[in-house]
Structure 1
Amino acid sequence: MRLHDRTFLLLGGTGGIGQALIGPLVERGARVIVATRHPDRLEKRVGVSPVHLELAGSELDQQLQQLSEVYPDIDGVIHCAGQNQFSALDAMSVSDLDAQLTVNLRSAMLVARHFVPRFRKAGLGALVFVGSTFGSIGFPGYTAYCASKFGLRGFTEAVRRELADTPVQVIYVAPRATSTAMNPEPVNELNRALGNAMDTPELVAVKILQAMEKDERRRFLGWPEKLFVVVNGILPKIVDKAMLKQLPVIRRFLDSGAVS
């Protein structure tokens, strides 16, 4: 995928990974439309246009229509917005569940629904979705997050196959644990206790851009996480046993009331 002279709509641009993507995209000659609930918080720079967008809003489809009218040259979308909450399932409210499903999955589906016909007609377009290792491996304490990311992975796979005979590119990138403000300190402590490596947002941004430039359909980040994804898909009982051994440590942090 060529990035130079492209116009990308970046969703989640004020988060850790999203922020880390802005500079490299501009340096590669792309224009970046950063959609956020708080465009006033975005640092002004050449090649970057902040816009207001409510991904959890009931009128997201109408907002996207208005956005396209103002920026008709958008020919790529990078969806890296997300919400998570480290919590036992029975400790989450209905609104907690809805928030994660709405931002992590529903918004991605509506964004694709909006831009696919425009990209198909233009003969050019890319949809890039940032998922998670937890979109392939269910992890205790992240039931809703896993559900939304499993859904996102399945959705992107289906859309990619649906558009296989069109010029529209669909890319899915799944980072492992990443050091962002979305994780409260107790979650960072849990990762350290379990020996889970955490990548920087800058490293993840590099990997996302590499996947885009190489036209990869999917990319999973981190080792041994990539291996666990494969094993979990083929022999889930092995991962079940590994998780069972970790469960006392995980439950200790769950019971501490640590949430994001």
Structure 2
Amino acid sequence: MRLHDRVFLLLGGTGGIGKALVEPLIRAGAKVIVASRQPEGLARLSGVSAVHLDLAAPDLEHQLVRLSEAYPDIDGVIHCAGQNYFASLGELPVTAIDDQLMVNLRSAMLVARHFAPRFEAAGYGALVFVGSTFGSIGFPGYTAYCATKFGVRGFSEALRRELADTPVQVVYVAPRATATAMNPEAVNELNHALGNKMDAPEAVAAQILKAMENDDLRRFLGWPEKLFVVINGILPRIVDKAMLKQLPVIRRFLNSEVLS
């Protein structure tokens, strides 16, 4: 995938992995449109435009129409937006379930629904979805988040196959645990207790760009996480047993968001 002279709409570009993508895209010669609910708070950089877009809004479809009219040159979308909430299902607020469904999954589907036909008509375009290792491995305390990320992985796979005879590229990248402000301190402590490695957002952003430049269909990040994804798909009972051993440690940190 060529990055130079492309115009990318970046969703989730105000923090974490998305924010780390902005400058590398600019250095690669792309123009970036960062969508946010509060675009006025974004730093002004050459080659970067800030626009209003509320991914959780019921009228997201109409917002996308207005956005396309204002920026008709968009020829790529990077969906890097996401919300998570670490809690047992019984303690998970309904609003947290709804927010994750709306932002993580529904918005990805509506964005693709809006842009895929436009890219196909134009003869080129790319849809890049940033998923998660938890889109392949269910993890205690992240039931809703895993459900949405499993959905993003399945959706992107089905969409890629649906558009296989078109010029539209569909790329899926699944990072492992990443050190972003989205993680509460309890999650950082849990990862430390379990010995889970956490990647810097800049390292993940570099891998996303490599996946785009190499025309990867999918890219899973981190070792041994990539191996666990394969094992979980073939022999899930092995992962079940490993998770059962970890469960007492996980329960020490579970629901701290709810109780704090």
Band the TM-score falls in, shorter-chain normalisation? over 0.9
Corresponding residue for 2:65?
Answer: 65
Counterpart residue identity of residue 42, structure 1 = L
Unaligned runs of 5+ in 2: none
Paired position in structure 1 for 2:86 = 86
Secondary structure at 2:254's aligned position in 1? helix
Is the CA contact 1:120–1:166 (under 8 Å) kept in the aligned structure 2? Answer: yes
1:99-248 alignment runs, 5 A limit: 99-248=99-248
Q: Alignment partner of 1:78: what SS?
A: strand
The residue identity in structure 2 corresponding to 1:232 is: N
Identity %: 75
Aligned residue pairs, count = 260
CA contact (8 A) 2:172 2:217 kept: yes
Gap regions ≥5 residues in structure 1: none
| Inter-partner Cα distance in structure 2 for 1:169 and 1:160 | 7
- 1:256 is displaced (CA, Å) by 3.9
Instruction: From the superposition, tell whether residues 186 and 65 of structure 1 become closer, same or farther in structure 2 (CA, over 3 Å).
Output: same
Provide the C-alpha distance between the structure 2 equivalents of 1:215 and 1:164, rounded to a whole number of angstroms: 13
Give RMSD over aligned pairs.
1.1
Distance (Å, rounded) in 2 between the aligned partners of 1:197 and 1:258: 25
Give secondary structure in 2 for the equivalent of 1:249: helix
> Deviations 1:141-177 (Å, cap 9, x if unpaired)?
0000000000000000000000000000000000000
Q: Letter of the 2:225 partner, please give it.
A: E
User: What SS does the aligned partner of 1:10 have?
Assistant: strand
* Partner SS for 1:43: coil
Deviations 1:51-85 (A, max 9, x none): 00000000000000000000000000000000000
Amino acid across the alignment from 1:27: R
- Supply the distance in 1 between the matched residues of 2:45 and 2:255 (Cα, whole angstroms): 44
Q: Which residue of 2 aligns with 1:41?
A: 41
Q: Is the 8 A contact 2:87 2:256 kept in 1?
A: no
Would the alpha carbon gap of residues 94 and 12 (structure 1) be closer, same or farther in structure 2, given more than 3 Å must change?
same
Distance 1:181 1:125 in 2: 31
Partner of 1:24: 24
TM-score by length of 1: 0.98
Contact 2:8 2:78 in 1 (8 A): yes
Q: Is the 8 A contact 2:191 2:197 kept in 1?
A: yes
Q: What does the per-residue CA deviation read over 1:185-214, in whole Å, with 9 as the maximum and x for residues that have no partner?
A: 111000000000000000000000000000
Superposition TM-score, scaled by structure 2 size: 0.98
Change (3 A) 1:255 1:65: closer
Encode CA deviations 1:200-251: one digit per residue, 9 max, x unaligned: 0000000000000000000000000000000000000000000000000001
Structure 1 residues 255 and 2: CA distance shift in structure 2, 3 A? closer
- Alignment-derived partner of residue 53 in structure 1: 53
1: CA distance between counterparts of 2:255 and 2:3? 46
Alpha-carbon distance, 1:258 to partner: 6.1
Letter in 1 for 2:128: V
Task: Read off the aligned partner of 1:237 and give its amino acid letter.
Answer: R
Q: What is the CA deviation profile of residues 8-35 of structure 1, one whole-angstrom value per residue up to 9, with x for unaligned ones?
A: 0000000210110000000011000000
